């Protein structure tokens, strides 16, 4: 039934009955009903709750909306139809005055956001008491000056974020800066955060004006602005007396900032402050491209802090995996996020020490490498990235951290961007180590600022009870609202018994956490932890389970004898820790450990795409010749002429040659380069458990005459001299069963050992370069 017919039918229902019906409907249903037609919008909009946060994305997708708690997100198509514009205006007229946060984002594959769209949004929200404004990827040069002048109507802004927005190509960059400053001027007295990323027209003049005019500023970022120099940092130091806040965090990565030059400027006779009032403390943190950073402290105890992650550490399970990771790091711009990167191999060769043993090893090395006072300003990010990735075998030869997301970036790079933007400044200032997994993306927007008096910060996600049975679950004390205990993969009955289930039927589940160096020093004073671990420990179960005011420690006595001593030692220290919990909200944890999770995140209405709309660009990543692919599939680093991918499938590194090819549905298909300039292609069912051993190995329903092996170990796949030949050989036998051949066959396990990483990286570079040229 069309929206117009629905509206006419509903119009015949008595208003008092209709009003009652509306109270029974979920806000998301009312919102999407309003999007169907002008008549429906006019009829139901008054029943739509007003919200604090409004996010609007203009994209190539259909008109749709989502509602969560105090936030509405609208996805608006790039069309010139009067009906769409009218419906949007009806919604904005209803919502506009109540909002406090407005996000406008261009998510178009091709094209720009039109002036009339921006004008409509700003006119409808001009009377709002806006606290936060975010503009992303909008070509502001195409927007009329009188339209942008509406921004000056917002007089209470506290946070402004402008990312990848073109400000214009005036003859002088100062003209574009002057416009932006005029728009922000009414909010100078209320602004606490200014975040500019990828705005190349910005110069040092912008910082000089802001430093004089914004007394409540506590966070200032001008990243990716090539005209910005050290002179942008200087006025924030010179004019500290004008600032009401004691602390100002300044981020100047991808600029021409130089800490040595800053020191020189501060000793100049022209420095508008007394040099003796300041102490510059280098903290060995490069800013942007290998630039050192400093902590500038004033005698009044006010200071300016310019910081990043000091070090990124990835764990590897073996020396060969260590080499593999280091070779791939060259293609990731890690210098934008941290001073240095280190790949660490487990210190107990031949012994499985788990993520817990690897974490203790890295903490021990850090404490031995730095003086205590030096550590207090250092933040290390530890990504556990070892393992064979057997549940996602196309990553077995590359590593989980290097899996590709639909933004054409790796999980590693994406995670670094999120942490740098939404986490780093909120952690305790005393320094420490952030521990996380390499196959997880967390939404850190709602992370709270944590004071420096705690030992540990744990990050919690609102999850279903079913999810809770597979994770650590946090129990909150009803009286103190602090952590009481942590349950490890509990049953539903255990969660009920411990009152872990909240009033809304959800639970709080674990993910990443932060340990301060002061706590780490106490941890390593325990004698059994001062030497390399010899048993398998988990940095989640074994570290988190003893946390809280009243932990359950009966699991220790139930542990195997060889593990018990370690768990007892960990419990002795973790049970006494001062723990702060930061609840990130629902739909903030996304695991990419299985193909089911991977494909689920690709779908248009997935929670991942709703939470990170900017992370989805395409499901055809650096590939050519892919003529058809459904939303539920992904193709990366692949080539063909007329390559069609079936539903629920992932293809990686394949070459179909000059022939048209229809790949079946529900498969994983990938090609690996082997040493000796040979290739092997693997095809398995997308939901296949390739680790499971079988008395009689079956492959796509065909008996293979291989017994007692898993698909990971079975030598099923023919080695060929080209990618195209290997794909055709494997696809032929996938459809018809294995045949006699003189060619060597190889297992996935053996292929990983014989993998020629450089050849595969060269293949990827060729497709990446080709895509860039397009």
Residue 259 has pLDDT above 70, yes or no: no
The order of strands in the sheet holding 219-223 is 64-68, 71-77, 53-59, 101-106, 132-136, 159-163, 193-197, 219-223, 247-251, 303-305, 294-298, 278-282
| Structure letter (DSSP) for residue 139 | B
The pLDDT of residue 674 is above 90: yes
Share of the chain above pLDDT 70, in %: 87
Rounded distance between C-alpha atoms, residue 279 and residue 249, angstroms = 16
Q: What is the mean pLDDT of residues 43-72?
A: 83
d(CA 306, CA 113): 34
Tens digits of per-residue pLDDT, 637-646?
Answer: 999 999 999 9
* Per-residue pLDDT at 537 exceeds 70: yes
Going by C-alpha positions, the residue among 632, 628, 625 that lies closest to residue 654 is 625
Q: Is the pLDDT of residue 573 over 90?
A: yes
Least confident of 62-66, 187-191, 397-401: 62-66
Q: What is the mean pLDDT of residues 41-67?
A: 83
Strand pairing category for 472-476 and 483-488: antiparallel
Mean per-residue pLDDT for 245-252? 78
Q: Which of 719, 722, 725, 723 is closest to 741 using CA atoms?
A: 719
- pLDDT, tens only, 379-388: 889 988 877 7
Evaluate whether the domain defined by 155-162+171-307 bears CATH number 3.30.1340.
no
CA torsion through residues 318, 322, 325, 327, sign: negative
Torsion sign, CA atoms 533, 539, 544, 545: negative
Q: What is the model's pLDDT at position 770?
A: 61
- Residue 164 reports pLDDT greater than 90: no
Query: Helices 204-213 and 173-184 sit at what angle, rounded to 10 degrees?
Result: 20
pLDDT in tens, 3-29: 454 545 555 666 666 666 666 777 777
Give the pLDDT confidence of 644-670 residue by residue, as tens digits. 999 999 999 999 998 899 999 999 999
Residues of the chain with pLDDT > 90, as a percent, come to 39
Stronger pLDDT, 15 or 472, i.e. the higher one: 472
pLDDT, mean over the chain: 84
Q: What's residue 230's pLDDT?
A: 82
**Per-residue pLDDT, 136:** 87
Q: Can you read off the two tokens belonging to residue 300?
A: 């009044």
488-496: Cβ within 8 A, 24+ apart: 488/540, 488/541, 488/544, 488/545, 488/555, 489/541, 492/465, 495/465, 495/468
Lowest mean pLDDT among 48-57, 181-190, 307-316, 601-610: 307-316
Q: pLDDT by residue (tens digit) across 544-556?
A: 999 999 999 999 9
Strand partners, 380: 311, 433
Overall residue count recorded for the chain in this entry? 774
Question: Of 494 and 339, which is predicted with more confidence?
Answer: 494
pLDDT value for 283: 44
State the pairing for strand pair 456-463/507-509: antiparallel
Tell me the CA distances in angstroms from 471 to 127, 320, 609, 629, 770, one per residue in order. Answer: 45, 31, 23, 34, 42
Q: What is residue 417's predicted lDDT score, i.e. its pLDDT?
A: 87
526 phi, psi to nearest 5 deg: -75, 125
Q: In the chain, which residues fall in CATH 3.80.10?
A: 155-162+171-307
Grade residue 286 by pLDDT with cuts at 50, 70 and 90. Answer: very low
Of 26-35, 68-77, 487-496, 631-640, give the lowest mean pLDDT range. 26-35
Instruction: Please tell me which of 99-103, 271-275, 447-451 the model is most confident about, judged by mean pLDDT.
Output: 99-103
Q: Is the pLDDT of residue 494 over 80?
A: yes
Averaged pLDDT for residues 433-459: 89
The better pLDDT of the pair 343, 732 is held by 732
In this prediction, residue 171 carries a pLDDT of 43
Which of 314, 313, 315, 309 has its CA nearest to residue 336? 309
Tell me what pLDDT residue 285 has: 36
The helix-helix angle for 82-95 and 115-124 (nearest 10°) equals 30
Q: What is the pLDDT at residue 77?
A: 84
Average pLDDT of the segment spanning 569-584: 94
Q: What are phi and psi of 513, to 5 degrees?
A: -160, 165
464 has pLDDT over 90: yes
Q: Picking from 221-235, 257-271, 395-409, 728-742, which range would have the lowest pLDDT averaged per residue?
A: 257-271
User: For residue 198, with 0-12 CB atoms within 10 Å meaning exposed, 13-18 middle and 19 or more buried, which class applies?
Assistant: middle
Which two tokens mark 403? 């899996």
pLDDT at residue 191 in the model: 94
């Amino acid at each position: 039934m069309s929206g117009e017919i629905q509206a006419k039918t509903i119009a015949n229902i008595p208003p008092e009955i209709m009003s009652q019906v509306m109270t029974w409907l979920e806000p998301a249903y009312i919102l999407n009903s309003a999007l169907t037609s002008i008549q429906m919008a006019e009829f139901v909009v008054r029943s739509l709750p007003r919200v604090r946060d409004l996010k609007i994305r203009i994209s190539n997708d259909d008109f749709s909306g989502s509602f969560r708690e105090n936030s509405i997100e609208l996805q608006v198509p790039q069309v010139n139809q009067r009906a769409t514009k009218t419906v949007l205006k009806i919604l904005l007229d209803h919502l506009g005055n109540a909002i406090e946060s407005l996000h406008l984002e261009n998510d178009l594959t091709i094209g720009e956001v039109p002036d009339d769209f921006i004008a409509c949004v700003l006119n409808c929200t001009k009377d709002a008491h806006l606290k936060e404004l975010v503009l992303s990827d909008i070509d502001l040069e195409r927007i009329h000056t009188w339209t942008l002048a509406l921004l000056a109507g917002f007089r209470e802004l506290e946070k402004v974020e402008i990312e990848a927005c073109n400000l214009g190509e005036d003859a002088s960059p100062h003209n574009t800066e002057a416009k932006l400053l005029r728009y922000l001027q009414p909010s100078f007295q209320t602004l606490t955060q200014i975040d500019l990323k990828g705005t190349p027209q910005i110069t040092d003049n912008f910082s000089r004006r802001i430093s004089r005019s914004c007394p409540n500023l506590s966070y200032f970022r001008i990243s990716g602005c090539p005209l910005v120099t050290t002179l942008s940092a200087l006025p924030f130091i010179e004019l500290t007396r004008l600032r009401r806040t004691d602390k100002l965090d300044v981020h100047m990565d991808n600029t021409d900032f130089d800490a040595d030059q800053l020191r020189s400027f501060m000793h100049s006779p022209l420095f508008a402050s007394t040099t003796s009032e300041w102490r510059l403390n280098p903290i060995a943190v490069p800013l942007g491209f290998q630039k050192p950073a400093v902590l500038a402290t004033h005698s009044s105890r006010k200071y300016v802090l310019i910081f990043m992650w000091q070090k990124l550490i990835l764990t590897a399970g073996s020396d060969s995996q260590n080499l593999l990771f280091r070779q791939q790091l060259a293609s990731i711009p890690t210098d934008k996020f941290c001073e240095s990167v280190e790949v660490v191999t487990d210190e107990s060769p031949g012994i499985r020490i788990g993520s817990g043993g690897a974490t203790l090893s890295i903490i021990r090395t850090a404490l031995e490498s730095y003086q205590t006072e030096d550590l207090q300003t250092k933040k290390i990010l530890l990504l556990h990235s070892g393992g064979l990735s057997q549940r996602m075998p196309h990553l077995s030869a590359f590593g989980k951290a290097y899996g590709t997301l639909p933004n054409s970036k790796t999980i590693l790079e994406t995670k670094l961007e999120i942490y740098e933007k939404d986490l780093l400044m909120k952690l305790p200032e005393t320094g420490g180590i952030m521990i996380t997994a390499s196959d997880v993306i967390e939404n850190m927007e709602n992370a709270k600022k944590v004071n420096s008096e705690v030992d540990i910060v744990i990050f919690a996600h609102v999850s279903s009870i079913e999810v809770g049975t597979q994770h650590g679950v946090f129990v909150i004390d009803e009286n103190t609202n602090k952590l009481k205990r942590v349950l490890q993969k509990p049953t539903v009955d255990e969660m009920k018994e411990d009152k872990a289930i909240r009033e809304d039927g959800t639970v709080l589940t674990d993910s990443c956490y932060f340990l301060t160096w002061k706590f780490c020093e106490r941890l390593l004073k325990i004698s059994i932890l001062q030497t390399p671990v010899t048993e398998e420990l988990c940095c989640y179960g074994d570290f988190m389970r003893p946390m809280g005011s009243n932990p359950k420690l009966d699991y220790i006595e139930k542990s195997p004898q060889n593990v018990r001593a370690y768990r007892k030692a960990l419990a002795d220290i973790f049970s006494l820790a001062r723990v702060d919990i930061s609840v990130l909200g629902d739909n903030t944890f996304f695991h990419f450990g299985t193909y089911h999770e991977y494909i689920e995140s690709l779908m248009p209405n997935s929670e991942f795409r709703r939470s990170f709309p900017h992370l989805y660009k395409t499901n055809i990543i650096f590939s050519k010749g892919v003529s058809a692919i459904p939303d539920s599939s992904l193709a990366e680093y692949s080539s063909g002429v007329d390559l069609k991918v079936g539903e629920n499938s992932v293809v990686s590194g394949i070459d179909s040659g000059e022939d048209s090819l229809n790949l079946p549905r529900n498969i994983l298909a990938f090609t690996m380069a082997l040493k000796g300039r040979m290739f092997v292609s693997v095809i398995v069912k997308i939901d296949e458990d390739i680790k499971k051993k079988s008395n009689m190995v079956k492959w796509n329903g065909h008996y293979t005459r291989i017994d007692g092996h898993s698909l990971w170990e079975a030598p099923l796949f023919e080695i060929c001299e080209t990618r195209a030949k290997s794909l055709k050989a494997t696809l032929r036998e996938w459809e018809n069963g294995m045949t006699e051949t003189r060619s060597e066959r190889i297992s996935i396990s053996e292929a990983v050992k014989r993998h020629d990483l450089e050849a595969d990286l060269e293949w990827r570079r060729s497709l990446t370069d080709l895509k860039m040229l397009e």
